Structure formats: structure tokens, C-alpha cells
A and B are shown apart, each in its own frame.
Chain A
Amino acid sequence: MNFREVVIAVSIALMVLLLAYVIEAGGLGPIAPQRLRELAASYLLNTYNPWNIIQSAQSLEAVTAIVWDYRGIDTFFETSVLFISIVGVSLLFRGYREKAGISNRGLSEIVKTSTKILSPLILISGLSIAIHGHLTPGGGFQGGSFIAVLLVLLSVVFSLDFVVERGLSTSRLLVLRSLGLLGVLATSVALLVVGLLTGVNAYIFQNMVREGASLSMPPWFLDRPTGGTLLFFNVFEALAVAAGLSLAFIVLSLRREEVEEALEKGEWYE
């Protein structure tokens, strides 16, 4: 390690620190507005309210609470729309199968090294955005698209073979996508199934205790709030979005040799 590398490392660290300081000191404006509308005030009051659990989602982040609890069915259908578009892509390219050994060896060594440094950071920030979706801004879709960007980056920089060799072929990505959607479905009806089995009243997309329905998802994990269903929704949504977007990218990047094979198989399907 020579002097030059030390200077570069120290200056990058200083830049990150100073940017963090500027944001922390409110350099990009006030963190929260002063005046609120009535609707926003009621959501902010009830999103995390241990004294009024009947109207609360027990989540510290109002946007995730609205997206997955108060307006959960809307978001479920949004997820389904994305799933249907992925089904459309894989139907259009039916017979597609990625071939090994026809892609080039990726980009230059400089790009590969910087991607090696960058990719764990992208993965960790994506996972953190998804898992902390009920605590900090973000959620399943955001974290999932971060991870999808990572897979796209790897398949461009290190070639498609690199991604496929590590077990992320299109068929397996489709399985992961379906698993994610099944997880969302299972989470949304979990309390209903328990209620039916035990003979207690329960709702679809029920999160906390509601009027006339005494079942509840666990609001705490050890000493951390989980937001009940929100944690599960965010994790499964991240899985589904990451697998779905990277599947679409891999299928759309089909090469000449794969087109010929896909055409033959497509005729066979017809």
C-alpha cells in the first residue's frame, strides 16, 4: 500500500463523512414539515400507537404501513401486475434456455475489480432496505430492485455465464419469483387460516388486533418492532421483485444462438 492509495482512501472516507454531516445537519432542508393535513395527521398518529392497537399497524414507518397494511390489497394487485408481466415475458420467449460458453468474458479488469468492491455494498443496502422496511424509508420493492440492479450489473460485467454458474438460471429465478408471490399470499391469509382452524373471527390482510378479531401477528421480535405482517411482506416482496426483474433482463438479453434454439422449441410447442 503506497502513499497514493492511502490519500485516495482517506479522501473517499472524508467525502462520505462530510456528506453524512451535511445531511444530518439539515443541509438539504428540514427533515419533517411543520404543518400537516388531517388525513396525514391521523395516519401519523395511528401508524405506531401502542395505546390504540385497534387502529394501529405497529410500524414506525407510515408509508410502509399504508402500503402493506391500510391499503394492502392494492399493493397485492400491484405485485400481481408485475408477476403477470413476467409471465408474459417468459411466455413470449418460451423455449428460451441460456447457453453456456457463447458470451464473451465480460468487461476489463478495472471494471471487474470495482464491481467486486461495489457488489457487497449494493447487496447489503438492498437487504437492509427490505428488512428494515417497517423502520426506515424503503420496503420490499425498493430492496428487491437494488438486488436486481446488482444481478444486472454482475451479468453485464462478469458475463451471463458467471451469474448462471452460481445457480441463478432463468428457471430457478422463475421458481424464486413464484416463491416470493406465494409467500405474500400466505402472509396475507395466515391469520384468516388460523382463525378458521380455531373458530375465531379474522380478516384477510389482518395485521394487528382489530375490532371483533382478537388474532394478531407478533408485533415484537425480541426487543425490535416487526410491524407484524409488514416484515414478512417486505422480505417476500423483495425476493419476488429481485428474481422477477433480473429474470426479465436475462431473458431480454437473448443471443443469436439462443434465438435459433428457442425458435425450434417454439415450433415444437405449437
Chain B
Amino acid sequence: MELVPISIAAISALLSVVATYLAVRSRDMMSAVVFSAIQSTAYALIYYVLMAPDIVLVYVPVSVGILPAVTILLIKKTERYEK
């Protein structure tokens, strides 16, 4: 029984590492925003498994809703592709 939450946390952590790497490497800022949202989703799952549902409830709307919205506004006003 103890193995299931730990393995879920491990898989989410691996996913978040891959998503972070892709977000840093990506030349297209829009896909970087999407990758960072995926990383945040994996983190939210880790928080849930570690029994912090309060943090999950604040992490999901802020990091998947508000932060990408503000970042996309910023990208729209500057440049989309990194040189």
C-alpha cells in the first residue's frame, strides 16, 4: 500500500524533470509555457500524494491558469521565438 503513492510521486518527478528540460531548451516560447504547465501538473500530483491538498488547490489555478495566461500576454507583447 505504501508503494503506490511513492511510485506515483517518482513517476511525476521524472515527468517534471523532462518537462522542465524541454521548457528550458525550447526555442518557441509558447511551447515553453505549455511544458512548464505540464511540470506544474506533475508537481500538483506530487503534492497530492504527499497529503497537502490545500497546496494542490492553490497550485493548480495559479500555475496552470494565471501564470501561463500572464506569460502568454508577455509573449504576445514581445517576441515568440528565441534567436
Q: Measuring CB to CB, which residues of chain A are less than 8 angstroms from any residue of chain B?
A: 26-33, 63-64, 129, 137-139, 141-142, 145-146, 148-149, 152-153, 156, 245, 248-249, 252-253
Known: A29-B4, A29-B5. A245 touches B66 (CB 8 A): yes
> Which B residues, 2 to 25, have Cβ-Cβ distances below 8 Å to chain A?
2, 4-5, 8
Number of A-B contacts (CB under 8 A): 63
Alpha-carbon distance A30/B6, docked complex (angstroms): 11
| Complex partner residue of A129 from B4, B57, B73, CB under 8 angstroms | B57
Decide: B4 and A28 in contact? CB cutoff 8 A. Answer: yes
Decide: B4 and A137 in contact? CB cutoff 8 A. Answer: no
Could you tell me the distance in whole angstroms from the C-beta of A206 to the nearest C-beta in chain B?
24
Decide: B54 and A249 in contact? CB cutoff 8 A. Answer: no
| Complex partner residue of B73 from A29, A153, A245, A253, CB under 8 angstroms | A253
Task: Tell me if B69 is interfacial: C-beta within 8 Å of chain A.
Answer: yes
A148 neighbours in B (Cβ, 8 Å): 61, 65-66
Q: Which residue of A lies closest to B68 (CB)?
A: A152
How extensive is the interface on chain B, given as a class?
Answer: 20 to 34
Q: Which residue of A lies closest to B3 (CB)?
A: A29
Known: A28-B5, A28-B8, A29-B5. A145 touches B58 (CB 8 A): yes
Could you tell me the distance in whole angstroms from the C-beta of B66 to the nearest C-beta in chain A?
6
Alpha-carbon distance A208/B49, docked complex (angstroms): 33
| Complex partner residue of B69 from A63, A129, A249, CB under 8 angstroms | A249
Alpha-carbon distance A148/B60, docked complex (angstroms): 12
Decide: B69 and A142 in contact? CB cutoff 8 A. Answer: no
Could you tell me the distance in whole angstroms from the C-beta of A118 to the nearest C-beta in chain B?
12
Q: Which residue of B lies closest to A152 (CB)?
A: B69
Say what secondary structure dominates the interface of chain A: helix
Decide: A142 and B58 in contact? CB cutoff 8 A. Answer: yes
B54 neighbours in A (Cβ, 8 Å): 63-64, 137-139, 142
Decide: A145 and B62 in contact? CB cutoff 8 A. Answer: yes
B2 neighbours in A (Cβ, 8 Å): 29-30
Decide: B66 and A27 in contact? CB cutoff 8 A. Answer: no
Alpha-carbon distance A219/B29, docked complex (angstroms): 50
Alpha-carbon distance A195/B69, docked complex (angstroms): 46
Could you tell me the distance in whole angstroms from the C-beta of B45 to the nearest C-beta in chain A?
9
Decide: A137 and B58 in contact? CB cutoff 8 A. Answer: no
Per-position contact with A for B37-78: 1 when CB-CB < 8 Å, else 0?
Answer: 000000000001101011011100110011001100100000
B62 neighbours in A (Cβ, 8 Å): 145
Which of the listed residues B1, B48, B54, B58 has the most CB atoms from chain A within 10 Å of its own CB?
Answer: B54
Decide: A32 and B66 in contact? CB cutoff 8 A. Answer: no
Q: Which residue of A lies closest to B65 (CB)?
A: A149
B70 neighbours in A (Cβ, 8 Å): 248-249, 252
Could you tell me the distance in whole angstroms from the C-beta of A83 to the nearest C-beta in chain B?
16
Q: Which residue of A lies closest to B72 (CB)?
A: A156
A139 neighbours in B (Cβ, 8 Å): 54
Alpha-carbon distance A252/B48, docked complex (angstroms): 32
Alpha-carbon distance A9/B60, docked complex (angstroms): 26
| Complex partner residue of A30 from B1, B61, B69, CB under 8 angstroms | B1
Alpha-carbon distance A239/B14, docked complex (angstroms): 37
Q: Which residue of B lies closest to A32 (CB)?
A: B51
Decide: B8 and A149 in contact? CB cutoff 8 A. Answer: no
Q: Which residue of B lies closest to A67 (CB)?
A: B54
